[in-house]
């Protein structure tokens, strides 16, 4: 990475404003998936062990600028405390006299967590005064919030105008791993794309047409492409306003001689319900009163065959409604196959909240080359866009703010 990292600066005794992405799912006041907290540990521990006075900040959910007791960071602090094996204190507000006092009492190797930054509308508005106030708490800014790096908010961008600003270890690892998909990835480079929202992902596919040899489409995503080719899909999820766009992407793929694969069979069901009666049909025979909920076994076999030759694979979006076990076979098969390819030396990178959850649930995360903690951020990065949270950090050869 061409940005300075925590390893390039002296943190001993310094007050460090550490922005992490601790935006985790909660249920009844408990963290249900702590992957993002665990991913943030290396930088937290690195700073504490080197005598930094760490001020840890994150957002949680979408409180839209108002205090919302259900979105307080206490459950996150509790989980972090278990993982660190030490108490984690949290402030009542991200800003204010109480915070000043707490910070003034921090000693080397101490950690203080700020309350949810998004209780202040100024955070998402990237308000200059708010950014200055955050910066005023510290001597150094460390950004480890890769999952928020595609947003120019006060704690990810504004703050960098007032402090020396460097990357944390997670952000560095994300950027380095995802960078392997830009420039000149090892060929053949194939992309597997699925999930529900076509509109949000067409730009990524378009950008990848210049770098990939093959695009393999599954999930709800495939429906829109199939519909654009005139395949009737019953009650399936189709983004009707994207048909023209889908056609354009497919002819672009043809022009650039990129193989564009769509499912040839599917699992269908009358509704998305865990007890719905499911069956496998050829893609041209989806009954009028049924919907596509997964790719079928012939499609899995064809995709596996193609992916078996890949040296680089990027995967975003599940192949079906994987949250329900009876519609998860396609997603699970692709995940297992890709883990196997990675074990045989292929570079396999997975990005996207739900795809990552699917891989995690199968316990395959450690087998893959890289599993990104950033959904939207990983997509924008792979698309080749500059992430404001990364761009704002100090350059390795440049000077600091
Ligand atoms: P990611 O978070 O990995 O980027 P998305 O958010 O785009 O993925 O899509 C994930 C969602 O897509 C899941 O909730 C899954 O149930 C849904 N999905 C996948 N295939 C289908 C389908 N055929 N019909 C409806 N929903 C689908
Ligand atoms: Mg998602």
Domain co-membership, 92 together with 197: no
- Choose one of 25, 204, 205, 219 to mutate for the ligand 1 pocket test, by most ligand atoms within 8 angstroms of C-beta: 219
- CB within 8 Å of 9: residues ≥ 6 apart: 140, 164, 166
| Domain end residue (candidates: 172, 206, 227) | 172
Residue 197 among the catalytic residues:
yes
- Same structural domain, 164 and 190: no
- High-pLDDT (> 70) share of the chain, %: 99
Is the alpha carbon torsion for 151, 152, 158, 160 positive or negative? Answer: positive
Smallest CA-to-CA distance from 365 within 19, 33, 18, 77 is with: 33
Cα(310) to centroid of ligand 2, in Å?
25
pLDDT greater than 80 at residue 195 = yes
350 alpha carbon, distance to own chain's centre: 9
Looking at 172, 204, 236, the residue that finishes a domain is 172
Query: Which phi and psi (to 5°) does residue 190 adopt?
Result: -120, 145
The number of distinct structural domains making up the chain is 2
Give the separation between CA 283 and CA 266, rounded to whole angstroms. 6
Contact at 8 Å (CB) between 313 and 346?
Answer: yes
Query: Ligand 1 centre from 226 Cα, in Å?
Result: 16
In a domain? residue 249: yes
168 shares its domain with 189: no
Least confident of 17-21, 137-141, 180-184: 180-184
Does 1 map to a domain? no
Decide if 389 is inside a domain: no
Q: Residues 160, 253: one domain?
A: no
Same-domain check for residues 232 and 372: yes
Task: Count CB-CB contacts under 10 A for residue 98.
Answer: 12
pTM above 0.85, yes or no: yes
pLDDT band for position 399 (50/70/90)?
low
Tokens 């596919």 -> residue: 205
CATH number of the domain encompassing residue 99: 3.40.50.1260
* Residue 396 included in any domain: no
Distance CA 348, CA 367 (A): 9
* The pLDDT of residue 397: 83
Half-sphere exposure of 223 (CA within 13 A, CB side): 27
Instruction: For residues 17 and 117, state if they share a domain.
Output: yes
- What sign does the CA torsion over 41, 42, 44, 45 have? positive
Examine the pLDDT at 398 and tell me if it is beyond 70: no
CB of 31 shorter than 6 A to ligand 1: no
**Which numbered atom of ligand 1 lies nearest the CA of 292?**
23
What's the whole-number mean pLDDT along residues 196-214? 93
Query: In the β-sheet with 265-269, what is the strand arrangement from edge to edge?
Result: 279-282, 265-269, 291-295
- pLDDT (average), residues 323-337: 97
Is residue 399 included in any domain, yes or no? no
The strand pairing partners of 27, in sequence order, are 30
Cα(146)–Cα(150) distance, rounded to whole angstroms? Answer: 8
Q: Active site includes 235? A: no
For residues 93 and 226, state if they share a domain. no
For residue 400, tell me if it sits in a domain. no
Stretch 121-140: mean pLDDT, rounded? 98
pLDDT at 184: 87
Task: Give mean pLDDT, residues 59-73.
Answer: 97
Q: Which atom of ligand 1 is nearest to the CA of 320?
A: 20
> Helical H runs in 269-323?
297-307
Residue 366 CA to ligand 2 center (angstroms) comes to: 21
Helix, strand, or coil (residue 144): coil
To the nearest 10 degrees (0 to 180), the angle between helices 297-307 and 329-343 is 20
Query: Of 314, 393, 316, 356, nearest to 39 (Cα)?
Result: 356
CA 124 to ligand 2 centroid distance, Å:
21
- Which of residues 117, 142, 172 is at a domain's end? 172
Domain assignment of residue 277, given as a range: 184-383
- List, edge to edge, every strand of the sheet that includes 165-167: 89-90, 111-113, 53-57, 15-19, 140-143, 165-167
- Which structure tokens are listed for 145? 């919030």
Judgement on whether residues 246 and 281 belong to the same structural domain of the protein? yes
Burial readout 82-91 (b: 16 or more C-beta within 10 A, e: otherwise): ebeeeebebb
Shared domain for 197 and 79, answered yes or no, is no
Using the predicted structure, report yes or no on whether residue 235 has a pLDDT greater than 70. Answer: yes
Confidence (pLDDT) at 348: 98
pLDDT of residue 147: 96
Inside any domain, residue 47:
yes
Residues 245 and 105 in one domain: no
- Whether 395 contacts 375, CB under 8 Å: no
154 and 263 fall within a common domain: no
Residues 350/332, Cβ–Cβ less than 8 Å: no
From the CA of 379, give the closest atom in ligand 1: 4
Under DSSP, is residue 359 helix (H, G, I), strand (E, B) or coil?
helix
Count of alpha carbons within 13 Å of 200, Cβ hemisphere only? 15
Give me Rg for the CA atoms of the chain.
23
**Residue of 61, 65, 109, 376 with catalytic role:** 376
CA 294 to ligand 1 center in whole angstroms: 10
Q: Residue 146 contacts by C-beta under 8 Å, 6 or more apart in sequence? A: 21, 170, 171, 174, 175, 372, 373, 374, 377, 378, 389
In the prediction, which pLDDT does 353 show? 87
Q: Which residue minimizes the CA distance to atom 24 of ligand 1?
A: 220
DSSP 8-state assignment for residue 120 = S
Q: Is residue 27 part of a domain?
A: yes
Q: What tokens does 338 get?
A: 């890709």
In the chain, what percentage of residues exceed pLDDT 90? 96
Q: Is 376 a catalytic residue?
A: yes
Residues 168 and 263 both lie in one domain:
no
- Looking at ligand 1, which residue's alpha carbon is closest to its atom 16? 321
Of residues 220, 320, 352, 353, which has the active-site annotation?
A: 353
Whether 353 is catalytic is yes
Summarize the confidence of residues 33-40 as an average pLDDT. Answer: 94
- The pLDDT assigned to 199 comes to 86
Q: Note whether 374 and 21 are within 8 A (CB).
A: yes
End-to-end CA distance of the chain: 19
Ligand 1 atom nearest the C-alpha of 318 is 19
What is the distance between the alpha carbons of residues 143 and 167, in angstroms, rounded to a whole number? 5
Q: Are 159 and 148 in contact (CB under 8 A)?
A: no
């Amino acid at each position: 990475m061409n940005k300075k990292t925590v390893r390039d600066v002296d943190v001993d005794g310094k007050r460090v404003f550490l922005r992490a992405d601790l935006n985790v799912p909660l249920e009844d006041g408990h963290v249900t998936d702590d992957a993002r907290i665990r991913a943030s540990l290396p930088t937290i521990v690195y700073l504490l062990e080197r005598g930094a006075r760490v001020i840890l900040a994150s957002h949680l959910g979408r409180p839209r600028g108002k205090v919302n007791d259900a979105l307080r960071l206490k459950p996150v602090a509790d989980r972090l405390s278990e993982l660190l094996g030490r108490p984690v204190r949290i402030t009542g507000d991200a800003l204010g006299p109480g915070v000043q006092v707490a910070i003034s009492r921090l000693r080397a190797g101490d950690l203080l967590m700020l309350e949810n930054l998004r209780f202040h509308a100024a955070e998402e508005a990237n308000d200059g005064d708010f950014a200055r106030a955050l910066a005023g708490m510290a001597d150094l800014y460390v950004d480890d919030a890769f999952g928020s790096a595609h947003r120019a908010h006060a704690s990810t961008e504004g703050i960098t105008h007032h402090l020396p600003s460097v990357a944390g270890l997670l952000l560095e690892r994300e950027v380095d791993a995802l960078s392997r998909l830009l420039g000149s990835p090892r060929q053949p480079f194939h992309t597997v794309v699925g999930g529900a929202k076509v509109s949000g992902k067409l730009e990524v596919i378009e950008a990848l047409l210049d770098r990939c040899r093959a695009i393999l489409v599954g999930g709800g995503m495939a429906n829109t492409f199939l519909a654009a080719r005139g395949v009737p899909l019953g009650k399936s999820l189709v983004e009707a306003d994207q048909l023209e766009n889908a056609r354009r992407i497919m002819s672009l793929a043809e022009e650039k001689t990129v193989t564009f694969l769509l499912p040839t069979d599917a699992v269908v069901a009358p509704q998305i319900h865990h007890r719905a009666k499911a069956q496998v049909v050829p893609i041209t025979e989806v009954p009028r009163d049924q919907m596509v909920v997964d790719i079928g076994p012939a499609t899995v076999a064809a995709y596996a065959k193609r992916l078996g030759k890949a040296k680089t694979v990027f995967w975003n979006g599940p192949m079906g409604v994987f949250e329900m076990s009876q519609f998860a076979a396609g997603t699970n098969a692709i995940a297992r196959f890709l883990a196997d390819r990675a074990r045989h030396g292929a570079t396999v990178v997975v990005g996207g909240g739900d795809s990552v959850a699917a891989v995690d649930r199968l316990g395959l995360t450690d087998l893959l080359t890289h599993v990104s903690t950033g959904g939207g951020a990983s997509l924008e990065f792979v698309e080749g866009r500059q992430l404001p949270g990364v761009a704002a950090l100090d350059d390795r050869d440049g000077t600091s703010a």
